Amino acid sequence: MKNLFILGTAGSGKTAVAVGLALKLREEGYKVAYFKPAASPPGTADKDEDALLMRRVLEMEHPLEDIAPYIVGPSYLSRYRPNETMDRLLQAHEKISAGADIVIIGGAGSPSVMSTLGLDAVSLTRRLNAAVVYIIKIKNDFSLDHAVFMNNHFASRQIPVIGNIFNNIPRPLLAKTEGIYKQKLADRGYRTLGIIPARADIANPTVAEYHELLGGEILTGTDKLNRPVEDVIIGAMTIESALGYLRRAPNKAFITGGDRADLALAALETSTSVLILTGGLYPDVKVISRAAEKGVPVILVHYDTYTTIERLSSVSRHIRPHDQATIDKALENINQYVDWREIINRIKE
């Protein structure tokens, strides 16, 4: 049995890569299982969505508490005893790996999560004798710095890294990723396994994921929560200043105070996926009526605008267990853009 750890930063698309690789490995005749040592469900959820997804995709019969033994949040240390954590994790992994040829291990939002208890990704990789595929989310040159730093760290700890995958790369950065970033990694001795372009249907979070994170009351548009959100615009300006921003941002989440009916109505006349009203202030009835006509969900939250924006910084796209179209696209990305044969060859070593 081999362990393959999929690591990367939050929002890098680790789950989509894990889904695609798992399905590809199954196509090639391998018995594949999934394990996620440290899960961080969004909002107040108590079950990890990746575990639910992979259990269905791989037709696993294991209970969720074995697939994802630890649910962690900002105050996780009060829930777990240091002398019990590793034993419990190893027992869960043993159950998951029984009968499997390959166990794909999903990384937490950051490789450093649970370092205090010795359950960070690097420590677990060594303990489970796993190989690593590192997923890189490129925003700018600092993103590559972080990827090089992590590869250097793996190398210093004698952890085998099969290679790196640049994932969800925006179109303006594709040429730079291919011509510069990939070469810079190669200059340091690190392999690139693939460059996957951004796809709105996989990369962008949906209105439902914004609602899961924020909570609040859905005032209209409950049947439109699967709409993708490509941008976030904050309405804290004059109506004259806002119009230019509103027209340039397609499929946006527009955040403004519930008392700013002028801005809300202006946003509804442009490409808007969701209207998020802050401060717990119910909007003018004209806003609700126009949103219903346009088919735009309206979410009323009790946070102020600053807190709302701060909370949204952690929103990311999750593939749903029954979202077969997106699951198929995850496999398509692996087939089209990733050197999966190299991954299989390295696993065999």
Q: Pick the closest to residue 339 from 106, 147, 144, 163 (CA basis).
A: 163
Closest by alpha carbon to 185, among 204, 200, 165?
165
Structure tokens given for 331: 């496999």
CA dist., res. 156 & res. 152, Å (int) = 6
The residue extents of the domains of the chain are 2-202+319-348, 207-312
Fold entry, domain 2-202+319-348: Rossmann fold (3.40.50)
CATH of 207-312, one of 3.20.20.140, 3.10.180.10, 3.40.1390.20, 3.40.50.1220: 3.40.1390.20
- Considering only 48-62, 175-189, 238-252, 296-310, which range has the smallest mean pLDDT? 238-252
Q: Which of 126, 102, 123 is nearest to 3 (CA)?
A: 102
Q: Number of helices and strands (H, E) in the chain?
A: 16, 13
pLDDT at 42 over 60: no
Q: What is the pTM of this model?
A: 0.80
Say if residue 44's pLDDT is above 50.
no
Task: Note the pLDDT tens digit of each residue in 126-180.
Answer: 999 999 999 999 999 999 999 999 999 999 999 999 999 999 998 899 999 999 9
pLDDT at 317 over 90: no
pLDDT-above-70 percentage for the chain? 93
Amino acid (1-letter code) at residue 116: T
Token code pair at residue 76: 């996780």
The Cα 123–Cα 173 span in angstroms is: 33
